[in-house]
């Protein structure tokens, strides 16, 4: 009797999916490209050493594709920069709003806002923060909580309590913003993991907060220190805002990514090779736990049954970084 060999093909699926029924949230990013932008910088007289046009020209000359100038209590409309706007460079109106509570102040940015908001007051810092966010939402704009550790203005509980705000500054290039924390205060990465582990969906922005465009020094607030790379099909303000609030971006101080691929049970990060620095990728989960550290490129992480969210930070040997936004697990 002759036996005929019949090939059998098996689809290999990570065991964690069978054990837990979990998978990462995935989204359609087909047709999207990365657009480079800045969400916090200053330009008007009294807030910078250059004109609005000169500041915008610096960003355009350095490869930025969208720019939000966020001076205090005033808006720079795109019409003011019409000579620079074209198919590769989009000015978006913005404002830095001040809130006051318990004699302490705080600041948030309003992105794509059309009407200037005066300083807002409340009896508490948390109340002032919420009032600022609510006012920005009423203007159909996007709020971003600025530099929480600057003068230790906003602790993690204030950030946890605020509603309807999906963005905060993890990195701010202004000297003295204390992003790394100190012996008495947690760094903002620790704060971010506290918020995420507590169930809050919030995404982390890197920004310049620049005021000095003529002389460059570590002691000055210069441009080019932190930015966002947003996925978008078009260079369009509404789409960019929507995708920022959806976490379809990464933040950077110099590390560039080719792609971030989210599959049902795997995250893959393709790092762009620029020069000779080596890169280390850390995948981080609930409670700030380091899930995996790797020097591979692409770097990848496979879903575990214990995961609630996974984010990543890529650091090169020159100290430059990129932060990949958290990917949440469907349970």
**Position 89 in a domain:** yes
Q: CATH number of the domain that 312 lies in?
A: 2.60.40
Choose one of 226, 253, 280: the last residue of a domain.
Answer: 253
Alpha carbons 157 and 218: distance in angstroms, whole number:
31
Same-domain check for residues 327 and 266 = yes
Closest CA to 174 of 205, 215, 212: 212
- Residue pair 324/313 in contact (Cβ under 8 Å)? The answer is yes
Task: Give domain status of residue 23, yes or no.
Answer: no
Distance CA 110, CA 136 (A): 6
Residues 303 and 186 in one domain: no
Which residues span the domain enclosing 319? 256-331
How many separate domains does the chain show?
2
User: Among residues 201, 234, 253, which one ends one of the domains?
Assistant: 253
160 and 91 in one domain? yes
241 and 197 in a common domain = yes
266 shares its domain with 247: no
Is there a single domain that holds both residue 239 and residue 134?
yes
Q: Is 129 inside any structural domain?
A: yes
pLDDT 10s digit of each residue in the chain, 331 long?
A: 443 434 433 344 444 444 457 999 999 999 999 999 999 999 998 899 999 999 999 999 999 999 999 999 999 999 989 999 999 999 999 999 999 988 779 999 999 999 999 999 999 999 999 999 999 999 999 999 999 999 999 999 999 999 999 999 999 999 999 999 999 999 999 999 999 999 999 999 999 999 999 999 999 999 999 999 999 999 999 999 999 999 999 999 999 999 999 999 999 999 999 888 899 999 999 999 999 999 999 999 999 999 999 999 999 999 999 999 999 999 8
In a domain, 17, yes or no: no
Q: Are residues 196 and 268 in the same domain?
A: no
Distance between CA atoms of residues 290 and 284, nearest Å:
5
How far is 147 from 108, CA to CA, in rounded Å?
Answer: 9
Regarding whether 308 and 275 lie in a shared domain, the answer is yes
User: What CATH number is attached to the domain comprising 46?
Assistant: 3.20.20.140
Whether 239 and 284 share a structural domain: no
Cis amide linkage into residue 330, ω under 30° from 0: no
């Amino acid at each position: 009797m002759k036996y005929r060999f019949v090939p059998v093909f098996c689809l290999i699926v990570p065991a964690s999916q069978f054990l837990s029924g979990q998978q990462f949230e995935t989204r359609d990013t087909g047709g999207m490209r990365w657009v480079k932008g800045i969400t916090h910088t200053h330009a008007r007289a009294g807030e910078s050493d250059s004109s609005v046009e000169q500041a915008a020209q610096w960003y355009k000359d350095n490869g930025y594709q969208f720019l939000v100038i966020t001076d205090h209590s005033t808006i720079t409309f795109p019409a003011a920069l019409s000579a620079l706007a074209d198919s590769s460079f989009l000015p978006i109106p913005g404002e830095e709003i001040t809130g006051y509570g318990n004699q302490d102040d705080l600041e948030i940015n309003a992105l794509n806002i059309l009407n200037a908001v005066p300083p807002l007051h409340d009896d508490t810092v948390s109340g002032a923060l919420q009032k600022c966010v609510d006012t920005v939402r009423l203007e159909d704009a996007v709020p971003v909580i600025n530099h929480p550790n600057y003068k230790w203005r906003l602790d993690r509980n204030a950030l946890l309590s605020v509603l309807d705000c999906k963005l905060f500054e993890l990195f701010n290039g202004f000297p003295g913003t204390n992003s790394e924390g100190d012996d008495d205060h947690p760094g903002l990465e620790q704060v971010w993991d506290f918020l995420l582990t507590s169930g809050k969906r919030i995404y982390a922005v890197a920004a310049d907060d620049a005021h000095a465009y003529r002389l460059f020094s570590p002691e000055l607030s210069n441009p080019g220190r932190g930015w966002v790379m947003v996925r978008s099909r078009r260079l369009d303000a509404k789409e960019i805002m929507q995708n920022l609030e959806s976490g379809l971006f990464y933040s950077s101080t110099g590390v560039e990514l080719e792609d971030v691929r989210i599959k049902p049970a795997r995250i893959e990060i393709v790092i762009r090779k620029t020069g000779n620095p080596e890169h280390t990728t850390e995948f981080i989960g609930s409670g700030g736990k380091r899930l995996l550290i790797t020097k591979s490129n692409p770097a990848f992480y496979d879903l575990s049954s214990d995961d609630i969210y996974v984010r990543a930070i890529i650091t090169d040997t020159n100290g430059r970084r990129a932060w990949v936004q958290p990917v949440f697990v469907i349970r």
